[in-house]
Structure 1
Amino acid sequence: MTETSRITSRGVDKLIAKLRDDGVAAGRDEAARLKSEAEAEAARLLARARAEADSYLVKAKKEADAYRAAGEQALETAIRDAVLRLRAGMAGRFRDEMQRLVSEKLADEEMLKAMILEIVGRARDSLDTRGAAEVILPAAVVGAEQIRENAGDIQSDRLTGYVLGLTSDMLRDGVTLLAADGRQGGIRVRFQEGDIELDLTDEAVAALLLAHMQPRFRAVLEGVIRG
């Protein structure tokens, strides 16, 4: 091999070695760059995942709080409705029982007799009324059969003596007993040809008693329910 060939061969070897070394360095640098980018991308993805997870947790907590609040509200509403239904039911039973007791009491013949004698006398004195007084009795007390049998004497002294054992001398002059058309309980008393009427039917008496007693009943009921 000539000197020139040897020089050329060495140059080629050096070039190959340089290219090899440059390639290795470039590959190392590229690998380092790719690794750095991959690590940066991984960090970004991890940060975004954490942010999304935190967001989901916050959202989930808000939804859980909303569901819990809605559940508590629904429970409070259900309890309130139950209390209202209980209160209404007990008030209704109280009203019905009051009506039943009053109707039962005013169906008693002795009670009616006492009411007629007392109310007619007191009303006439207090109202200074003149003329006839009409007392409308429950048809149930007079009796449907008796009404049919005495239809022609419905305003006569014979009916006065027949009903409740009252006689004409037990009442003041001018008092007439009549039978109610409907299912009235208790009595109604009319003066001055109907211009003045005292309503002592079972419905009127029960309503008066309820107006007086229901506030106290509600107060007791409130205490029982809240207690």
Structure 2
Amino acid sequence: MSNDQKHPAPPVSHGVERLIERLRDEGVAEGRAGARKIIEEAEARAHWLLQQAEEEAELIRRSAVEAAERERRSCDQALRVASRDAVLSLKARLSQVFNRELDRRIESQMQSETLLRELILAIAGRTRDYCESAERLEVLLPRHVFGLEDVRRDPESVARGELTALVRELIGESLRDGVSFVQSDDDTPGLRIHLNERGVTIDLTDKSVAELLKAHLQPRFSALMDGIVK
């Protein structure tokens, strides 16, 4: 009996099954490896995307914080400027009110016949003390002081009133050493003293006196406003 008859060859189907099993195992292993690789890549991608999202969120947060800070500083600056402008505007308005009230009061006072007479006597007499004896003085008075229009309108009331006494007193004073009283071309409250030989005029009208008082009082008024309005 031959060897082939003693050991018969394994059937073909058994070898095929083993091949199929091996291929299946290899396929499963490759599939698992591929799946694992896909999962790892997906996890890496997800981690990267999460990191990118966190970085972008941090940039957005910082940008928002910086924008809010810029807005806050801008608002603070705008408030400071508005406050400063309001204070300056208030000071300017108070200064205007102060100046208008000062002008009004001085104009009213300079129209007083009593004050005008005192100014004439005091200024003319004092000016004569500093002038040469031969030098002539002209005191320019408002037109209404001479009362020509008042006389035409109501002669009796003028004769009884203080204006007449004032005019007579002025006429009497005009006889003093070189001092004459002249009617001005306008009715500006106050008076002017003109030194003929020197060509100098001393302006004591309401506007001139108001400017002198403003120059004297305005610094004190401003200091007062700085202490009250800050």
1:130-170 Cα offsets, whole Å, 9 max, x none, are 34322222235446836999xxxxxxxxxx97864424323
Give the secondary structure class of the aligned counterpart of 1:166. Answer: helix
User: Who is 2:31 aligned against?
Assistant: 27
User: Which sits farther off after the overlay, 130-139 or 200-209?
Assistant: 130-139
Secondary structure of the structure 2 residue equivalent to 1:187: strand
Comparing 48-57 with 124-133, which one deviates more in the overlay? 124-133
Provide the C-alpha distance between the structure 2 equivalents of 1:32 and 1:143, rounded to a whole number of angstroms: 122
Letter matched to residue 171 of structure 2: S
Q: Work out the number of aligned pairs and report it.
A: 213
Shift of 1:184: 1.9
| Number of the residue aligned with 1:133 | 137
TM-score normalised by L of structure 2: 0.83
3-state DSSP of counterpart to 1:177:
strand
Return the offset for 1:182: 4.0
| Change over 3 Å in CA distance of 1:10–1:165 after alignment to 2 | farther
Moved more, 165-174 or 24-33: 165-174
The residue identity in structure 1 corresponding to 2:27 is G
Query: Which structure 2 residue ranges, 5 or more long, are not aligned?
Result: 1-7, 154-162
Corresponding letter in the other structure for 2:100: D
Query: Greater Rg, structure 1 or structure 2?
Result: 2
**2:196 aligned to 163, 167, 192, which one?**
192
Aligned residue for 2:50, secondary structure, equals helix
- 1:169 paired with 2:172, answer yes
TM-score of the two chains, using structure 1 as the length reference = 0.84
8 Å CA contact 1:107, 1:141 repeated in 2: no
Q: Specify the SS of the correspondent of 2:185.
A: coil
Q: Indicate conservation of the 8 Å contact 2:138/2:196, yes or no.
A: no
Does 2:111 match 1:111?
no
Native 8 Å contact 1:134 1:189 kept in 2? yes
Per-residue deviation, 1:213 = 1.2
